[in-house]
Structure 1
Amino acid sequence: MDVRLVLCLLWALLATAHARPSSCYQSIPGESSIVRNCRSWEDSCITAQEVNTIEGVVNTGVFQSCIPSQFSLEGDLDFEFGEGVYVRVHSEICRETNCNTGEIKERPQISTVPNGRQCPSCYALGSNHCRHNKILHCQGAANHCIDITGTLSEKNINIETPFAARGCATKDVAKIKAGMCLVSGVFIYQITTIQLSPAPKMESVDGF
């Protein structure tokens, strides 16, 4: 298994006293799907569906595996950076043996209705910095402003690409902390810095 993936899965080794699965369905981009026995610190099964356009095209994928519950970010982790660039992750966890082997349901369509909020926006792949020069009108449940930097990489490709971005995000993104390594359906994201704050109303973005 890729060293970066192992590090992601081992960042939280504290086991809990909750019921834990003995095995989970594992589906990792670039590997064959299997049923894998869970390690002592892995107390949950996860299914994470990702769709993104960060390379200029639509990428989709699913990640399933055993995982520590402290690593499991459940919910809708949606980032909208403007100019058609977005990252959308729908993640579910469960704690029974092979409970993530069911049919993967199509995620409900993302709302495109303006919510009256706005954020500065920018996106730079291959850089640690981006300077916002546009205002993004937030839509649907993306009612927070996000400022994030980090690196992304693909399974079996030992290249980490820096990125920096600003835009709108859902409140579930608040679960992500600096230093986390997120394994999703397409990329592995190493988060360097992240700031999330409630998006101001469309009259002003001062103070962000």
Structure 2
Amino acid sequence: MDVRLVLCFLWALLATANGVNFWARPSSCYSRFPGQSNHEERRCGVWHDSCIAVQEVNTVGGVVQRGIFQSCTSSLHSLEGDLDFEFAEGVYVRVHSKICRETNCNTEEIKERSRLSVMPNGRQCPSCYVLGSHHCLQNNILHCQGAANQCVDVVGTVLENDVHLPFAGRGCATKDVAKIKAGMGLMSGLYIYQIKSIQLSPAPKAENVNNF
């Protein structure tokens, strides 16, 4: 199967038809895949009812990396929101996903979203991140910031240029991360993430962090 067809089911939102005209659908959307610097206009298939734009900023490779994914998509199989992971001080994955229903509405002129507030929110979570293994051996503590008031434990595989790398992470996350389910193949602005397992729970206050 063409990997690009698989990617179109990424970051998908559980459909909410309230106030939405089902028959209003884009004839085309901007299209750009990880590693591409330019977009192109692409006609949408009959199974597509929306355009999607996904921005990612991460530091898991030790440097700041940015990327954008754009495509036609189905709103029945798409995720939307701020899906942010903070795995350690300076180690994060921040994804902003948005869908829309007008032709070419996932414009190339995408403004980078503001980062999470750096103000501590009084919550803490176990913290670790490893690329190349499905096991986090460290058990550090991370002070959560801003809207990242959930504790997350995620295991999966990162796909880049046909290379599969296992990863595991623990840390603080935003509530939108709860939309991600085990077994999902998610394409962001930089990679394809295959999620093996994910757990999310409200982050406890500092004195209870060891009970997570």
- TM-score, length basis structure 2: 0.88
Q: List per-residue Cα deviations over 1:142-175 (Å, max 9, x = no partner).
A: 0000000111112xx1111110000000000011
Q: Distance in 1 between matches of 2:185 and 2:23?
A: 24
1:101 deviates by 1.9
Question: Matched residues in 2 for 1:4 and 1:83: separation?
Answer: 34
Q: How does 1:167-206 map to 2 (within 5 A)?
A: 167-206=171-210
Structure 1 position 69, deviation (Å)? 1.2
**Distance of 1:59 and 1:130 partners within structure 2:** 23
Change (3 A) 1:24 1:164: same
- 1:145 counterpart = 2:151: yes
- Mapped to 2, the partners of 1:18 and 1:78 lie a distance apart of 32
Cα 1:79/1:36, change in 2 over 3 Å = same
* Aligned-residue offset at 1:7: 2.3
Contact 1:5 1:183 in 2 (8 A): no
Could you say what secondary structure the match of 2:211 adopts?
A: coil
Amino acid at match of 1:27: R
Runs of 4+ in 1 over 4 A off after TM superposition: none
Whole-Å Cα distance in 1 between the matches of residues 95 and 121 of structure 2? 20
Matched-pair contact (CA < 8 Å) for 2:89–2:142: no
**Aligned positions of 1:5-154 closer than 5 A:** 5-10=4-9, 17-31=22-36, 32-101=38-107, 103-154=109-160
Change beyond 3 A, Cα 1:152–1:95 = same
Preserved contact between residue 21 and residue 95 of structure 1 (Cα < 8 Å): yes
Rounded to whole Å, the distance in 1 between the matches of 2:121 and 2:133 is 30
In 2, Cα distance between equivalents of 1:23 and 1:133 = 47
CA distance in 1, matches of 2:115, 2:94: 11
Cα shift at 1:67: 1.1
Letter in 1 for 2:134: N
Q: CA–CA distance in 1 between the matches of 2:82 and 2:195? A: 17
The CA deviation at 1:124 is 0.8
Using the alignment, how far apart are the partners of 1:132 and 1:197 within structure 2? 20
- Segments of 5+ residues of structure 1 without an aligned counterpart are none
Letter in 2 for 1:165: G
Identity of aligned residues (%): 65
Stretches of structure 2 that go unaligned for 5 or more consecutive residues are none
Aligned length in residues? 203
Deviation at 1:10, TM superposition (A): 4.8
